[in-house]
Structure 1
Amino acid sequence: MKGGLGLFLGRVGGVAGALVVGQVVLGLTFVVGARSMSPTTLGLIATCAAIGQVAATVVDFGLINYLVRETASGRITSDRARALTAAKRPWALAVLLVVGIGSSLLLAPSPGVGLILALVGAGVWEAQNANGLLRARELFAKASTGQIVGRVGGLVAVLVLALAGAGDYALATAIPLSFLLEAVLDRVFLGRAVERHRGTAGEMVTAHRESVGYGMATLAVSAQQLDTPLVTAGGGAYEGGLYAAAGRLIGPLNFLANSVGLVAGPWLARAGTDPAALRGEERRVLRVSLALCVAPLLLAVVGPPVIPLLLGEEYRSSGTVFAVLAVGAVIVTLNQPFAVILQNRGRPQTVAVGIAVGLGVGLVATFVLSTLGGAVWAAVGYVISQFVIFVLLGLGARRARRDGVMAAAPATTRDAPETS
């Protein structure tokens, strides 16, 4: 492939840089919010937000990541990908608003806070789809800009409302606002579509059948958001708040894994069907992922003494939770290349099964352990989940490479890539 390692690292670095800045800003948003409320209130707000984020992931079920790969390989045009997401929008947003309103009014500290948090799912779905459409057109810089601006907007909102004395509303407003701002800016960057009509229901169903593996892979990234409601249910809202505080601060560690996954998918798709070339690019992705594991290992040591200084003594246990989750972040970083290799080689079902099994085991462990030892023990469930996924995907990728399974051949014509 043209550009080789330098181009791949440049793209990973660009995406990773945007993700880490966005996650750091999001972490600061939670720090400001946490300092203006008790762990119990934070636990309830974080639980509502987590339900919205997970609901958006479930409703999307890997469609956008599948469309990114198909566009990169030339099998569909970027306008067709956009038409399919447009066809899905009406019912996707309707489902997310119903889920958001129901869960937030039931769990939020107050009805007003609940109504605002009900927008989280819709905001996340719009943001991740618009971001994916930009990535499909290789507009990585614009996708990164939208994400960063959105997170900064959320931070400004939480600072203004916290200073005004609206502590509970500050964080509840900042979370959905950050995603909605990202979605709006990304849509501006996308501009008008050449193909104006929406995709048909039949086309959308067909695409979803192909995106099952991507959907399960995306759920793995959302496992930490699934953890928060389970810790709240098993250990109570106070333990849920301690866990949520550490979970949000762990975000900058997972950016490494996410950046590899976002870049490696279209990168490997462009490698084509030449066995030697594809194996070489896969080894490159694996080596980069292994090197990126150093960061979460170092921060696992630094986190415990620093987190109480950021959040206050009431959140001291969050430091230990952070260290355990950082170990899980190491495994997440190693899982990404295996998932992308399997998906690119036409085995998304292997990814789906491996992640479903690991996710199920980990979530059960999280709930059970939270009832026994609170937030700290619950974090071990996340590590268990990622380790099971690592074993299953690693074995699957080894079999696929050994059997010589190849990705489907790209189409002979496709959109010219756009530079950002």
Structure 2
Amino acid sequence: MSRPPLAVVVKGWPRLSETFIAQELVALEAAGHPLALWSLRHPTDTKTHPLHDRLAAPVNYLPEYLHDEPGRVWHAWRAARRLPGYKAAVRLWRADLSRERTRNRVRRFGQACVLATELPEGTPAIYAHFLHTPASVARYAAVMLGIPWAFSAHAKDIWTSPDWELREKLALGPGGASFGATCTAFGAAHLRDLAADPGRIDLVYHGLDLARFPAPPERPLRAPGAPLQLLSVGRLVEKKGFDRLIDALALLPDWLDWHWVHIGGGELKDQMKAQAEAAGIATRITWKGACDQPEVIAAMRTADLFVLPSRIAANGDRDGLPNVLMEAASQLLPIVTTAVSAIPEFITHGTHGLLVRDAPEDIAEAITDVASDPAAAAEMATAALARLRSDFAVDPGIARLSDRLRELGA
């Protein structure tokens, strides 16, 4: 009789902004890993990507808030108290709670009790996507059950978590992760500095499964005076820098005929629209909201320039290596972005695209340069596609992660 599947803890499922997680899980299933998802939150997006439909794993939802399902949480807590590692998990949780007295920390422990008591007997291990909340739930539950756990870290979870918490999750011994994967060399270096055993941290680029994307379109050179179709894809949150882009668009020269399309949701939508109105450029902007991947790719195939002005938010949050940059490269779309975090691991300035500071005047200058020299922009787009194919294919990373997960559950 086969063993129960690997338990995968995610923050929410499905999420339009996290295609990299869906891509990885579908690839792991194709590599022979039986999976079962445990989501901390119910979906909020009204659309899904076709990729989500390819995942065969069952999806289980933990109580998003403990008061939503008090009976389930109460029975789980009573059952969890009989688990062999419950007292050790409580000690870890109390130590964490003493340094972070929040409802969120209490909720994590309650969710961990539900996870630990509802996992099938014989579950070999727990694997969490994101090193903050999902990893905390995975860690407490794994200690209760006496099984190993591991994580995949990305961006916000690395840069907004306190160092004490990262060190303890990366420690050797009870409560420490057996291994961790992260998707950028920039993030891997930071985690290795905090880890008791740096060898437990693997650099695993998400890469892009080009089999899921159409061949790039034929792109005749745009005439220098023709309208410039700009595209951005990303949530309207501080770290994406779209406020700086709106200011940059207002600085573009009068001779340049342009239109900007934005795809994505986010809490700053009203603020961004008001900013565009105040700048007098609202009529040159289309806000498309959240779109599924076929809609995103269709927009990329008709645009002239992809712009992603990522920056470091006030709380330290920042992008890792946004997959949308690789998606744009897959469609031969020239790129203007910033040298934040791991973006320079994919884009070399002047070779694969233009890297600028997140200052509006610098962004405006780069957009103008692309508009003025379509041939140079096309050369950079061709080089970015070549780099994507040679160094950022999905298969090597999945092979490494697959080996790690087999060791984890052995």
The TM-score with structure 2 as length reference comes to 0.25
More strand per residue: 2
Higher relative contact order (CA 8 A, sep 6+): 1
Structure with the greater alpha carbon radius of gyration: 2
> Which structure's residues are more often helix, by fraction?
1
